[in-house]
Amino acid sequence: MDSIQVSGIRAYGYVGYLPEERVLGQWFEVDLTLWVDLESAGKSDCIEDTLDYREAIAIVKEQITTAKFDLVEKLISAIADKLLSLEKVNQVQVRLSKPAAPIPNFSGRITLDIIRSKTN
């Protein structure tokens, strides 16, 4: 299966278990792998025959900026579900990172990685 990868999507959101995460917010970073059939577009050179990845980027940013979840697990699942609603997407991998997790004496990042497929 063919895929399109989009990396480095950044958006500011208010998702988190701690009250300060939901009030002050934080940056999130997302990388995507979108499995789509690229054969038709490779022959036709028409955007209608492929996935316009600008739409995928907009979905990720909209989900992050508007979500009010306690857990990033819920956010990453919501992003995957919304991307799978796109007609041409058969499967998606979403990697979501919190670059500055509010954990004392921890300067690393937290990353979740999920793969979801359409159910036929």
pLDDT at site 120 = 55
Q: Mean pLDDT of all residues in the chain?
A: 94
What pLDDT band is residue 113 in, cutting at 50, 70 and 90? very high
Give residue 41's Cα distance to chain centre. 24
CATH of residue 55's domain is 3.30.1130.10
Number of domains in the chain: 1
Q: Give first-to-last CA distance, the chain, whole Å.
A: 17
Whole-prediction pTM = 0.93
Range of the domain at 89: 3-117
Q: DSSP label at 12?
A: E
Lowest average pLDDT, out of 31-45, 64-78, 99-113, goes to 99-113
Give the active site residues: 98
